Amino acid sequence: MKLFKHIFCLLFLTVSLVACKETTKGGYDDTENENATNETTLIQVSNPNSDCKNAPADWFTGNVPTPDPSFINANSNNCDFHLLSWQYFLWLTEEVNGQLRFETMFTNKAITPEYKDDTYHVLDVVEQALSKGMLIDQNGRAVYSSIIINDVFQQFVLDNKLYDRATMAAFDPNTGFPPGSLTLKTSWKIVQDGEDTSKMYTQKSDIELLTLVDGQPRIDKDNPKIQTDVEVALVGLHVAFVPDGHAEFVWATFEFDGNAPDFPENATMDTPVSSKDWLLYAANTTAGDVNTDNAGLLKFVNQNAQTLTPITQVARQFKNGGGKATNQTHIMNLNASVKEQLAKNNSIWQNYFEVGAIWFNNPDLLKPNWNPNVDGSFLTGSLELSNSTIETFTQKIVSENECFSCHNTNAVTDVPADLEMLGGKNVNLSHVLLKNYVEGTEAPPAKPENN
């Protein structure tokens, strides 16, 4: 996504190599009602267990109940936000007519009338967040992503004609996305012959191949070449959803258990992060050699085989995305409860976990021209939240290591010379809209006939 590095964030170069530090970006008390707002009180349907130890049993007996945006209300506590995050994950990964539910939803290109029916989920993203670098796995293959939206998100954009640049520029800056809006980012590893994927969700997908663009390995977006039926394994899933009264979205992220180690406490640059091999990490790699941005350094080892160098060594810099002790306890307890109940059904999803989630403790404070690097005092939850497969490189940069650092309401000033700058707006939280505004509508690739 060219131009994005300068569009979304205030870039400070401060780097953190200390594991799991407690940064107090958001101030709230570790109490059960720490996220109360002034909204009208609805019926409280949250888990009564204050330590978030029990995921609801009805998630695991038959179909997962459809998540209800009104589950979050004036009495909601920290646990409730993680409960709703997990419910979305389980609901989205439920099989519907031979596909996972999220695979039946719209692509990010379905925000214009001419492409409103697009559900062809070719894997077409390789560049990492805020970088031209790529996550290169231990076999030398790029990790791929795709972006997905639901019908509520799509209809809001279509009804308000936000795909049109002039309309977007003139749109009410204080209006946000409606409850029920949902946007996802998936992350997939290419499966090698003979590789053990017994604990991972795998499928056959179409991918856009890498080639040399301006001397660098890239996807040629002007003429993408598609390889069909490539076996891929799900390694990460961002789930951003709007419950009642939280137009800032709740940003939750999930990963495969075996992706990468967490930083040990008090790690220095010379500290090995782990003594064992992980899916995206080689044993005994030191803290100073992980999560290294390879932008400008990537080279093909074998273009036909689509292998590249250098390989990325990945570690999760902040366990549970950081945040206060209550938040971390809730995440760990709820993960354990969900996994235990999924194991009874031998579900593949027992091998995935919530890394964390972040939101506002006072949603009334969402406003245009807001950036957490200027004022993040009302952020709560996992205050240094990254997905190690999607935001590998930004984990190290203080001004970029949580979701709102990039998904904020700042004005967009770095635009082509012939394009009007976009003022600060609440809907600027969506990179789907901003990419369309800056780069224009991108036609979805034609689905190969043999599919």
Task: Tell me which residue of 323, 313, 161 sits closest to 252, measured CA to CA.
Answer: 323
* Collapsed DSSP state (helix, strand, coil) of residue 414: coil
**Distance of alpha carbon 155 from its chain centroid, rounded?**
22
Residues constituting the chain: 451
Q: pLDDT band for position 255 (50/70/90)? A: very high
216: β partners? 213
What's residue 399's pLDDT? 76
| pTM attached to this predicted model | 0.89
* Collapsed DSSP state (helix, strand, coil) of residue 393: coil
Measured between alpha carbons, how far is 423 from 325 in angstroms, rounded to an integer?
37
- Residue 34 reports pLDDT greater than 50: no
Contact 329, 320 (CB under 8 A): no
Q: pLDDT band for position 191 (50/70/90)? A: very high
Q: How many CB atoms lie within 10 A of CB 215?
A: 7
What's residue 3's pLDDT? 40
- Residue 27 reports pLDDT greater than 70: no
The string of DSSP letters for 193-212 reads TT---TTS-EEEEEEEPEEE
What percent of the chain shows pLDDT beyond 90? 80
Average pLDDT of the chain to the nearest whole number? 89
Q: What are phi and psi of 76, to 5 degrees?
A: -65, 145
pLDDT tens track for 281-319: 999 999 999 999 999 999 999 999 999 999 999 999 999
Q: pLDDT band for position 39 (50/70/90)? A: very low
Residues 6+ apart with CB under 8 A from 410: 8, 369, 370, 371, 424, 428
Helix-helix angle 78-92:325-344, to 10 degrees: 30
Measured between alpha carbons, how far is 47 from 53 in angstroms, rounded to an integer?
9
Residues 6+ apart with CB under 8 A from 219: 124, 126, 208, 209, 210, 211, 213
What's residue 2's pLDDT? 38
**Distance of alpha carbon 27 from its chain centroid, rounded?**
24
Contact 192, 108 (CB under 8 A): no
Q: Is the peptide bond before 310 cis (omega within 30 degrees of 0)?
A: yes
What's residue 36's pLDDT? 36
Task: Tell me which residue of 320, 204, 195 sits closest to 255, measured CA to CA.
Answer: 320
DSSP for residue 192? P
Measured between alpha carbons, how far is 122 from 308 in angstroms, rounded to an integer?
21
More confident residue, 50 or 205: 205
What's residue 164's pLDDT? 97
- Residue 207 reports pLDDT greater than 60: yes
The string of DSSP letters for 260-308 reads -PBPPTT--TTSBS-SS-BTTB-TT-BGGGSS---TTT-EEEETTTTEE
Q: How many CB atoms lie within 10 A of CB 411?
A: 15
pLDDT tens track for 230-252: 999 999 999 999 999 999 999 99
Measured between alpha carbons, how far is 138 from 233 in angstroms, rounded to an integer?
14
Residue 319, amino acid: K
Q: pLDDT band for position 208 (50/70/90)? A: very high
Which stretches of 86-129 are assigned E, i.e. beta strand?
95-96, 99-100, 106-107
- Residue 8 reports pLDDT greater than 70: no
Contact 320, 355 (CB under 8 A): yes
What's residue 38's pLDDT? 30
Class of residue 183 by CB neighbours under 10 A (exposed 0-12, middle 13-18, buried 19+): buried
Q: pLDDT band for position 450 (50/70/90)? A: low
- Residue 375 reports pLDDT greater than 60: yes
